[in-house]
Every structure is written in C-alpha cells, then in structure tokens.
C-alpha cells in the first residue's frame, strides 16, 4: 500500500493511492506536468493510473483534469451535479467522464464515496478498501457529521483536513465574508476540529493520518501538528504508537509506504 499526497492546499490538491496493485488519483488540482513529475519521483507512471476520483468541482481540485484526461484517457469519476458544475466540463472527453455511484470497484479497490458538508454542488469524501486495508480521504468539509465519522472509523490511513487555526483566521487579513465562509458548517475544518475528530473516531491499533489542505495564510504546519497532537495526547492517545501524524504541503510530496 502506498499513499502519497502530491500536493495539498488552496493552490492545488492531488493524492496518489495504490492498494493491491491498483493505482488511483484522488483529485487532479495541479497541472498534468506536475502530476507526471510527482508520480515519476515516486516510481509510478501516469499511464498506469487506473482512475481519478473527484471530490468536488472547485478549481484547486480539478485544474489539471482537462489535459490529464485528453492526453492519457484515464477514466474519472464524479457525482453528476459535480460534473455539471465543473468549469471545464465542456472540453473534457466524454468517454472519460463517469458518474460516481454509491459504490464501485476499480481493479482490486472497492470505493465508497460519502457526503461531506462543503459549499460545492455534491461534495464527497472517499473510503477505499483492498484486502484488509482501509484508506479514507476527507478534506474540504465544514464539520464532521456522523456519516463522516463512521466513514473515517477503523482506517489504516486517513487524509484529513486540518485547514486553519481559528485565532489566526480571525485575526488575519481575509475579509470578514471569507472568514465566515471558512468557519461555517460548509467551509473548512480547523486544527482543533481535526484533533477532536481523531480523538473520538474508532481507530485501529495504529493509524497514519495526513493533515491536509493547510491554509498558507491562516495556519502553519507545525501549529497544525502541535494542536492535533496536544488534543490526542490529552485524550490518552500514544502518538507514534496509536496514531502517527504526517504533514502535507502545497509544493512537496508527503508519502507513506506500508506492506502487509
């Protein structure tokens, strides 16, 4: 099993997941050139990608989709309303644009999307199963619903949003309407929300967590890590033994390879 967050943040998002020799991308919000270069750096060819899973239509999640689909003819899966709301839908090759059902299998991975709360047409997270392993992806969500909590439970690996520090956001330079949007139930998850989610979700004996979609304006990687770590430690979690935290970056690959 391999999980590599190729890019994460408001400038672009893409995550590579390989399970049981099936290779997927979750989102394609960076250029196809960067996707190819990042995959080359981890020893994978873009031609070998079996599918692209789209969480929602915002540009930082789909900006690389046009060239990727046109050049490599990779099937991409999104909710019908997401396709309809996507700015580039009219120029995408029709044969590559697949409707995302409530459950599907690509290669040896079973994929189950789940609804999340965000200001998009029909946004989703993903849980992916192969063999005895489970990976879950939940970014761009305003709050953690019972549906999301259940979807994250008993994951071997999570990619979970830890977007902002509330005080940095409140005291920062963003206009008030944007601050309200980010802090709303359809906005983005704060560091403290990520920490409490991890503390309360059912976990396996050891879980790897990528803290994702960090704001460059209203967060710092070390602050996100420290905030989440403090909550988990105060709730009796042994960091490094029960939960291992991994940071993600806009211009840098964060990766994990595990063999079961």
Residue 192 half-sphere exposure toward CB, CA atoms < 13 A: 6
Report whether pLDDT(129) > 60.
yes
Average pLDDT score over residue span 8-31: 97
Instruction: Decide if 162 contacts 182 (C-beta within 8 A).
Output: no
Any idea where the domains of the chain sit in the sequence?
2-252
Instruction: Quote the longest CA-to-CA distance of the chain.
Output: 51
N- to C-terminal Cα distance for the chain?
A: 8
Report whether pLDDT(38) > 70.
yes
Where are the extended beta strands (E) located within 37-181?
51-53, 76-78, 97-99, 104-106, 109-115, 124-130, 133-138, 157-161
Report whether pLDDT(131) > 70.
yes
pLDDT at residue 258, rounded to an integer: 72
d(CA 196, CA 198): 5
Beta bridge pairs of residue 114: 125
What tokens were used for 75? 């099937």
Report whether pLDDT(28) > 70.
yes
Where are the extended beta strands (E) located within the chain?
2-7, 14-19, 22-26, 51-53, 76-78, 97-99, 104-106, 109-115, 124-130, 133-138, 157-161, 207-212, 243-247, 254-257
d(CA 64, CA 58): 12
Report whether pLDDT(8) > 70.
yes
Q: For 133-145, write each residue's pLDDT tens digit.
A: 999 999 999 999 9
Secondary structure tally for the chain: helices H, strands E: 9, 14
| Residue 115 CB contacts under 8 Å (≥ 6 apart), including other chains | 122, 123, 124, 145, 147
Report whether pLDDT(260) > 90.
no
Calculate the CA dihedral of residues 258, 234, 200, 196 and round it to 10 degrees: -90
pLDDT at residue 139, rounded to an integer: 97
φ, ψ (nearest 5 deg) of residue 127: -115, 135
The total of other beta-carbon atoms located within 10 Å of residue 237's CB is: 18
User: Which fold would CATH assign to domain 2-252?
Assistant: Metallo-beta-lactamase; Chain A (3.60.15)
pLDDT at residue 259, rounded to an integer: 53
Per the document, the length of the chain is 260
d(CA 154, CA 171): 36
Q: For 236-247, write each residue's pLDDT tens digit.
A: 999 999 999 999
């Amino acid at each position: 099993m391999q999980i590599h967050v190729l890019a994460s943040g408001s400038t672009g998002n893409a995550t590579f997941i390989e399970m049981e020799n099936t290779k997927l991308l979750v989102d394609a919000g960076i250029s196809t050139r960067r996707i190819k270069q990042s995959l080359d750096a981890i020893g994978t060819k873009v031609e070998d990608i079996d599918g692209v899973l789209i969480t929602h239509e915002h540009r930082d999640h789909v900006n690389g989709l046009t060239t990727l689909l046109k050049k490599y003819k990779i099937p991409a899966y999104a909710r019908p309303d997401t396709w309809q709301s996507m700015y580039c839908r009219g120029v995408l090759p029709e044969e590559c644009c697949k409707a995302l059902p409530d459950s599907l299998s690509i290669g040896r991975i079973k994929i189950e999307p789940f609804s999340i709360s965000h200001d998009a047409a029909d946004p989703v997270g993903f849980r992916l199963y192969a063999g005895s392993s489970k990976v879950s992806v939940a970014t761009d969500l305003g709050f953690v619903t019972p549906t999301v909590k259940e979807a994250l439970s008993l994951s071997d690996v999570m990619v979970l949003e830890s977007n902002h520090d509330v005080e940095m956001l409140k005291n920062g330079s963003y206009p008030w309407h944007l601050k309200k949007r980010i802090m709303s139930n359809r906005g983005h998850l704060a560091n403290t929300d990520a920490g409490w989610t991890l503390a309360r979700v059912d976990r396996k004996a050891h879980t790897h967590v990528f803290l994702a979609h960090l704001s460059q304006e209203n967060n710092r990687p070390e602050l996100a890590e420290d905030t989440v770590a403090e909550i988990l430690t105060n709730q009796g979690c042994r960091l490094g033994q029960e939960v291992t935290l991994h940071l993600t970056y806009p211009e840098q690959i964060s990766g994990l390879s595990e063999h079961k």
